[in-house]
Amino acid sequence: MLYWLLILIIPLIASANVKATYSKYSKVYNSRGWTADQVARRILDDNGLYHVRIERIAGNLSDHFDPTANVVRLSDSVYGKTSVAAIGVAAHECGHAVQHAESYAPIVMRSKMVPLTNFCSHASYILILLGMIFSYNEFLINIGIILFLGVVAFQFITLPVEFDASSRALRTLEGDAILDTDEVNKSAKVLRAAALTYVAALLTAVLNLLRLIAMTRRRN
C-alpha cells in the first residue's frame, strides 16, 4: 500500500511544483524585452545550428526538441513570451539541440535506449503477469523484473541529460547577457523545478521495481 501511495504522490507533487513555479515566474518579465523564441533563435544560431527550426505548438509546457526533425517546439505558454520562465524553458530546449549537435554521450545513449525501454516497459508487466497466472513461474517473473531494470536505467540516464541542458541554458543566458543576474536566478528556479520532475520519475521507477520484487516475495 505504501508503494502505491508514494508512486501516486511523488509525481503529483513534482508536477504541482513545476506548474506553480512556472506560473510565479511567468509574471516576471526580462528587462531587455527578449521573447522566448527570439532567445531560442539566438542560442541556436550562436552554436551554428541555423538548420534547426523553431515551431509553436499547442499546449502548456509541452516544449521539446525533436532530433528527428531538427525542430525546437515551444508551447503556447512559452513561444512569444517575455517572462524569465519562458526564456529559461526555451533556452533549456536549445540546450538539448546543442547536446545532439555535439553528440553529448548521455543523450546519445538515451536516444538509443528509447526503443528498448518501450519494449521493457510493456514486456516486463506481461511476463510478470503470465508468471503469476501460470503456477507462479519464477523464471518468467524474474525475467520481467530484469526487463523492468531497463526502465529504471532509462530514467537514470535522463538525469544528466536534463541537468546538463539546464546548466548550458543558464550559462548562456548569463554569459551572453540575455538576462541579468537576478533574472537568471529566477529562470534557474523554474528549471530546477522542472528537473525535479525527472528525479520524481526515477524515484517512481525505483519504487515500482521494489513493489514488483516485494509482491513476488510475498507470494513466495
Report the relative pairing of strands 71-75 and 53-57 from DSSP bridges: parallel
pLDDT higher at 88 or 218: 88
Residues 196-215 have pLDDT tens digits of 999 999 999 999 899 888 87
The band of 219, judged by pLDDT with boundaries at 50, 70 and 90, is low
Could you tell me where the beta strands, DSSP code E, fall in the chain?
A: 53-57, 64-66, 71-75
pLDDT at residue 218, as a whole number: 61
Contact 196, 18 (CB under 8 A): yes
DSSP, res 179: S
pLDDT at residue 137, as a whole number: 75
pLDDT at residue 216, as a whole number: 72
pLDDT at residue 215, as a whole number: 74
Give which of 40, 86, 88 is closest to 187, Cα–Cα. Answer: 88
Residues 54-75 have pLDDT tens digits of 999 999 999 999 999 999 999 9
Give which of 173, 176, 197, 204 is closest to 85, Cα–Cα. Answer: 173
pLDDT higher at 78 or 135: 78
Average confidence (pLDDT) over 83-112: 97
Task: Give dist(CA 143, CA 154) in Å, integer.
Answer: 18
**Residue 24 neighbours by CB under 8 Å, 6+ apart:** 85
Q: 110: which 3 cell numbers? A: 538515451
Any idea which residues carry the catalytic annotation?
93
**Nearest 5 degrees, angle CA 70-CA 23-CA 8?**
85
Percentage above 90 pLDDT, the chain: 80
Task: Give dist(CA 173, CA 167) in Å, integer.
Answer: 10
**DSSP string for residues in 94-160:** HHHHHHHHTT-HHHHHHHHHHHHHHHHHHHHHHHHHHHHHTT--HHHHHHHHHHHHHHHHHHHHHHH
Average confidence (pLDDT) over 146-151: 93
Task: Give dist(CA 28, CA 162) in Å, integer.
Answer: 24
Does pLDDT of 80 surpass 80? yes
Does pLDDT of 112 surpass 70? yes
CA distance readout (Å), 180 to 33, 124, 183, 188: 12, 48, 5, 12
The mean predicted confidence, pLDDT, of the chain is 93
Three-state secondary-structure class, residue 71: strand
